[in-house]
Amino acid sequence: MLLIENVYAGYRDFDILKGVNLKVNPGEIVCVIGPNGAGKSTVFKAIYGLVKIRQGRVIFGEQNITNLRPQQILQAGVAIVPQMRSVFPQMSVRENLELGMYLEKNQQRIQKRIDYVLELFPKLAQRQYQQAGTMSGGEQRMLEIGRSLMLEPKLVMMDEPSAGLSPSMTKMIFENIVRLNQEIGLTVLAIEQNARQGLESSHRGYVLELGKNTFEGVASELLQDQEVRRSFLGG
């Protein structure tokens, strides 16, 4: 579904990514881990057209999306859940979901998608008229994931889904990601600072260091790899 080949990208004349390669197959959860400064967020920015790719390419399905604008990439079927909170706090849960279809003019379709997302997330259905800013961090993250599904994306990219959350909320969010993968076949590419939790919830994983791949493979095998455990999982 997504193929990143030998990508070099960065800021001005400095490359943060130095030949990154990764792929995501349909129906997979793939997690990218690595230390701070490894280039994890830059991978997302490069895919989504927020950082210019100087060498290499990004293929989505059969389409070359290298250096397209974010709106074009969204229209191609790639949604993103950013690391920083992106809900509109003074607006209701329902209104936030509606904004996930700002490109859509058909009100019937918008309502159908809202009903679909609220069915996937019963807690959001209970609070659909509540101001988003009054919900917990985990519930807001759930709303962001729900909003990303409004346009029926083929792939959702999640930037640090556990950022700023308590351990219990982190567990809930990853449980929901796995549930959506199992129930609706949601394909996910995540970058995650909580390496153990990210890999435990994924099919495959990549380790990034200094802008390059250093390890890749089945997530359960990476969790058992002695060097990965020593360097990234706390022994």
Look at residues 74, 79, 118, 77 and name the one whose alpha carbon lies nearest to residue 96.
118
Task: Tell me, yes or no, whether 33 and 131 share the same domain.
Answer: no
Amino acid type, 177: I
pTM to 2 decimal places: 0.90
Average pLDDT score over residue span 200-229: 90
Same domain, 101 and 42: no
Whole-number pLDDT of residue 31: 95
139 and 97 share a domain?
Answer: yes
Residue 34's pLDDT is what? 87
Residue 72 covered by a domain = yes
Task: Measure the CA–CA gap between 235 and 232, rounded to whole angstroms.
Answer: 8
Q: Residue 73: left (phi > 0), alpha (psi -120 to 50), or beta?
A: alpha
- Reported as a pLDDT band with limits 50, 70 and 90, residue 45 is very high
Question: What is the total count of domains within the chain?
Answer: 2
pLDDT of residue 37: 81
Domain-embedded: residue 87: no
Based on the domain organization, do 172 and 137 belong to the same domain? no
User: Do 28 and 47 lie in a common domain?
Assistant: yes
Q: Is residue 83 part of a domain?
A: no
Per-residue pLDDT reduced to its tens digit, 145-154? 999 988 889 9
Kindly calculate the radius of gyration of the chain based on its CA atoms and give it in whole angstroms. Answer: 18
Q: Is the pLDDT of residue 231 over 90?
A: no
> What domain range is 71 assigned to?
2-77+153-232
Map residue 234 onto helix, strand or coil: coil
Residues 60-104: tens digit of each pLDDT: 998 999 999 998 998 899 999 987 778 889 999 999 998 888 777
Q: Is residue 68 part of a domain?
A: yes
Residue 228 lies in a domain: yes
Same domain assignment for residues 115 and 227: no
Per-residue confidence (pLDDT) for residue 234, from 0 to 100: 66
Please tell me whether residues 160 and 221 are part of one structural domain. yes
In a domain, 71, yes or no: yes
Statement to judge: residues 14 and 119 lie in one domain = no
Residue that finishes a domain, picked among 129, 151, 173: 151
82 located within any domain: no
The CATH number that applies at residue 216 is 3.40.50.300
- Give yes or no: residues 143 and 162 share one domain: no
Asked whether residue 60 falls in the same domain as residue 159, the answer is yes
The answer on 139 and 179 residing in a single domain is no
What angle, 0 to 180 degrees and rounded to 10, lies between the N-to-C axes of helices 107-120 and 137-148?
A: 140
107: number of Cβ within 10 Å: 10
Q: Are strands 2-11 and 78-81 parallel, antiparallel or unpaired?
A: unpaired
Residues 213, 121: one domain? no
Task: Tell me which of 117, 151, 185 is where a domain ends.
Answer: 151
Domain assignment present for residue 210? The answer is yes
